[in-house]
Amino acid sequence: MAQRAVWLISHEPGTPLCGTVRFSRRYPTVEKRARVFNGTSYVPIPEDGPFLKALLFELRLLDDNKDFVESRDSCSHINKTSVYGLVIGGGELWPVVAFLKNNMIYACVPLVEQTLSPHPPLISISGISQSFELLFGIQDFLFLGQKNDTELNTKLNQLPDLFLQACPFGTLLDANLQNSLDSINFASVPHPQKQPAWRVGTYKGKPQVSISITEKVKSMQYDKQDIADTWQVVGAVTCKCDLEGNMPNVTISLSLPTNGSPLQDILVHPCVTSLDSAILTSSSIDTMDDSAFSGPYKFPFTPPLESFNLCYYTSQVPVPPILGFYQMKEEEIQVKITVNLKLHESVKNNFEFCEAHIPFYNRGPITHVECKVSFGQLEVFREKSLLVWIIGQKFPKSMEISLSGTVTFGAKSQEKQPFDEICIGGTAYLKTGN
């Protein structure tokens, strides 16, 4: 269940090493157990330098990955999880849990309490999920609400102290590092018995509960008879409960609007104390009769002090909020594009902002754009091969807008232009955001 070592590495393509270790922490008492448990298959935790090199190679993040290298590119070197084996000093360091997010590589090595050859299945290693929780926890701490590099550096500098708190001996005590930071600050407040470990401190003041629901729509529209369009809503319910008492009990009940589609694939926060089995079984995968549970969806819980995601869900909407049509015709170095967007009448025509992004991949730089928009304005980002159609805060009364014109591209130079493995030739997409 314990971790042998943790690293945070910033990925810096173009520099000689392609990365820098920003933070690392080793756990010698765990290492000592690893040596006993792993026996002859034991490989010690390397120093930062060799680890960085081996990890970047394995993750294909070195600049030099043009040639075929058997140990990485062989067809039998199949990786289906974010768990890697790194060849270091003649031995294989395994399991290394690692992933890249926001140009930061999160990595750690959990303790495996048995021999490593052959590799035991990951599912049977308790440390693996703890590794993920730790790394997700660090990621949330660094990037939730983070605005700039200075703030990131401040947070990175707080990590050693936080680790003393949240993971003093390699066994993770709380993946919510912000909590640990708060508990350092709250250290002097006397804790009553029966206070959850994830509810640090107490709230004093006016009781209030705020709830916000965020929904994102993912839709694929084919404009073809034989292929049905698909769309899915992904929702999150976020709560902030300012309530006095050690363990206030709150129940939030979500009801669907009239004719609303049922919520499916519900995942709840661990503070939820019990769940209706209909909530557990309602899923989008397997639309059995009993899965059409239309609420009310009750969530009894004791809230943590901070803002948290009470639950996530998916849902099917009857129609997508924006119906789109995008056509692209290729004529040598030019493409002719036509875009029509139509806002559905059931959607409130009032946005903070609304934009449509039209990227072009696997082509040379944009040299000339001749486009007409029926509404809003068009911006051209030549170096990014991107057109941004700024629609603004409202659609016009007709609810329909269109864009048409031609885009001319220069000669293709491999290095700089955006590459995409899907958008080849006439395959392209347009992304609306609001």
- Give the nearest distance from C-beta 27 to other proteins in angstroms: 8
Contact window for other proteins (CB under 8 A) among 9-17, 71-79, 143-151, 248-256 = 71-79
| DSSP annotation string for 144-177 | TT--SHHHHHHHHHHHHHHHHHH-TTSS-S-S-H
Give the torsion sign (CA, 35, 38, 39, 45): negative
219 binds other proteins (CB under 8 A): no
Size, binding site for other proteins by CB under 8 A: 108
Give the torsion sign (CA, 182, 184, 187, 191): positive
- Give the nearest distance from C-beta 399 to other proteins in angstroms: 28
168 binds other proteins (CB under 8 A): yes
| CB-based contacts of 359, cutoff 8 Å, min separation 6 | 384, 385, 386, 387, 418, 423, 428, 429, 431
Q: Which pair of tokens denotes residue 30?
A: 């765990």
- Give the nearest distance from C-beta 38 to other proteins in angstroms: 11
11 binds other proteins (CB under 8 A): no
Contact window for other proteins (CB under 8 A) among 340-348, 350-358, 396-404, 420-428 = 420-428
Alpha helices in 245-370 (DSSP H): 277-281
Residue 254, beta-bridge partner list: 297
In the bound state with other proteins, the residue whose beta carbon lies nearer, of 281 and 349, is: 281
172 binds other proteins (CB under 8 A): yes
Alpha carbons within 13 angstroms on the beta-carbon side of residue 237 total 22
In the bound state with other proteins, the residue whose beta carbon lies nearer, of 331 and 422, is: 422
Residue 173 CB neighbours (<10 A): 13
Contact 392, 376 (CB under 8 A): yes
228 binds other proteins (CB under 8 A): no
Q: Which of 156, 272, 347, 373 binds other proteins (CB under 8 A)?
A: 272
Whole-number Å distance between alpha carbons of 60 and 57:
5
Amino acid at position 391, single letter: I
Contact window for other proteins (CB under 8 A) among 181-189, 202-210, 326-334, 345-353 = 181-189
249 binds other proteins (CB under 8 A): no
Q: Which of 14, 66, 352, 372 binds other proteins (CB under 8 A)?
A: 66
107 binds other proteins (CB under 8 A): no
Q: Which of 10, 17, 91, 120 binds other proteins (CB under 8 A)?
A: 120
Q: What is the 3-state secondary structure (H, E, C) of 402-428?
A: EEEEEEEECCCCCCCCCCCCCCCCCCC
Q: Which of 20, 74, 210, 249 binds other proteins (CB under 8 A)?
A: 74
Whole-number Å distance between alpha carbons of 41 and 149:
41
89 binds other proteins (CB under 8 A): no
Contact window for other proteins (CB under 8 A) among 45-53, 85-93, 346-354, 380-388 = 45-53
Subset of residues 317 to 376 that bind other proteins, contact rule: CB under 8 A? 362
- Give the nearest distance from C-beta 397 to other proteins in angstroms: 34
In the bound state with other proteins, the residue whose beta carbon lies nearer, of 215 and 242, is: 215
Residue 222 CB neighbours (<10 A): 10
Contact window for other proteins (CB under 8 A) among 62-70, 322-330, 343-351, 375-383 = 62-70
Strands 377-381 and 366-373, by their bridges, are unpaired
Query: Binding string to other proteins for residues 130 to 159, with x set by CB under 8 A, is what?
Result: x-xxxxx-----------------------
- Give the nearest distance from C-beta 125 to other proteins in angstroms: 6
In the bound state with other proteins, the residue whose beta carbon lies nearer, of 122 and 152, is: 122
Contact 339, 356 (CB under 8 A): yes
